[in-house]
Chains A and B, each alone.
Chain A
Amino acid sequence: MHLDTETLERLLHDELDPRRQTESRRHLDACPDCRERLADAGRREARIFGLFEELDHEPTAARLALPDSCPEPARKEPAWYRIAASIALVIAAAGLLYALPGSPLREWISRPGADGRGTGDVGAGRSEEVAGALSGLTVRSDGPYEIVFLARQSSGRIRVELTPSRDIQVRVAGEPVGLESGPDRLVVSNAGSRASYEIRLPADGPPIEILLNGRMVFRKQGDRVETASDLDPSGVYLIDLSSELR
């Protein structure tokens, strides 16, 4: 018997309990029809959710203001930054990551993998050593993981590539950006930045989501990817960081 609608939707949204997930996966492995139905459901949903963006009005500061009866906190750091900073098991330190002035993104993109990889210890003190090369950090996660970009940017984009490695790699080119990683989340404090990013995700393993300004822009689960962004011919997803600011 083929998978029913409820099961297909739950597969799409990672809402099945482990036992039914295993059963359904087994059916999918053997049934091209249901594989196509699942892929079709994912494509149609991405299109619908993409159409919803047509409705969006600019979330200006005035529209997002805290009401008067909620006084601003005394400290000025973004609240998310503080939440991230309070995660008890911080497995990698934050750092300001610099590339040399004028270090062109184009050159970086043409040489993926040419630089040494960061391992989470790229602090301000090391920034000079890595200047001119790509900077970033590498984490490994056994559970669901989120990469959170706190803000949209006036320019810049994210290239997302699936790799056989088990590591999650985030690399930054262009401008200073704060990176803070916790056990289940990496927070990119990119407000006001025009940096671009290369993200390499394990093709296998637990679900990983990329959020931009509070919205999910990319999700992978197993080898299935949900995103409204473009897939270029070399198999790289390109996410525009300024799509709502045009």
Chain B
Amino acid sequence: MSRTFSDLVAEVHAAHSASIFRFLDRLSGDPDLAADLAQEAFVRLYRRGTLPEKPDRWLVTVALNLFRNERSKERRQRGLRAAFPDDLTPGAGPSPSDRAESRSRRAEVRSALDRLSPRDRELLLLRAEGYSYRDLADMLTINEASVGTLLARAKRSFETAYEEARRAS
């Protein structure tokens, strides 16, 4: 039974859309933007007409470029203020409910991630999705031989930034 290209795209979507959305959601802090970027990447895959060798890597690279463009456009529009979803604004003060506690931890993690360099942030979030060193090197145009060292450094930077964010809140 022959499968159409739409079937193939649908299979790629079923296998990878959750991971791609999660990555973009964590990266941007904005689930609606993440959904839009992921869908735009799939539209481009559909237009491409053939499957790339590693469709998930291709889709993430496309979405990542769209995200970077989006962010530099935002920065131009609003000066250099970082985008920060309203419900994540730190310093809202402690609240007795668990929900507020979890929201404040979310704000701390968000704040720590936002303090990293874009490369460290992307590297950590992509590794959390299980991408291999070869994939990471290709997607972020870094030297494959030093991916482990860069990862270790990025994790240390995150830990430092997270402790700072906790002290600040």
Using a CB–CB distance below 8 Å, which chain A residues touch chain B? 5-10, 13, 15, 41, 44-45, 48-49, 51-52, 54-59, 62-67, 69-73, 75, 78-80, 82-83, 213-216
A59/B22 in contact, CB under 8 A? yes
B1-26 vs A, CB cutoff 8 Å, 1 = contact: the mask equals 00010110111011111110110011
A79/B151 in contact, CB under 8 A? no
Known: A13-B127, A75-B7. 18 other contacts (CB 8 A): A6-B145, A6-B148, A7-B148, A8-B152, A41-B152, A45-B155, A48-B159, A54-B105, A55-B106, A55-B113, A63-B38, A67-B42, A67-B43, A70-B46, A80-B11, A80-B14, A82-B11, A83-B15
* Selected interface stretch from B59-67, B75-83, B129-137: B129-137
CA distance A28 to B76 in the complex (A): 51
B106/A9 in contact, CB under 8 A? no
CA distance A8 to B147 in the complex (A): 12
Partner pick for A69 among B43, B113, B133, B152, CB 8 A cutoff: B43
Determine chain B's interface SS by DSSP, over half rule.
helix
Report if A54-B109 is in contact (Cβ < 8 Å); known contacts: A8-B152, A9-B149: yes
A-B CB contact pairs (8 Å), 27 listed: A6-B145, A6-B152, A8-B148, A9-B148, A10-B148, A13-B148, A15-B133, A44-B155, A48-B159, A49-B128, A51-B162, A52-B26, A52-B125, A54-B102, A55-B29, A55-B106, A56-B22, A57-B31, A64-B17, A66-B9, A66-B13, A66-B17, A72-B6, A73-B4, A80-B14, A83-B11, A215-B22
Report if A72-B10 is in contact (Cβ < 8 Å); known contacts: A6-B146, A56-B26: yes
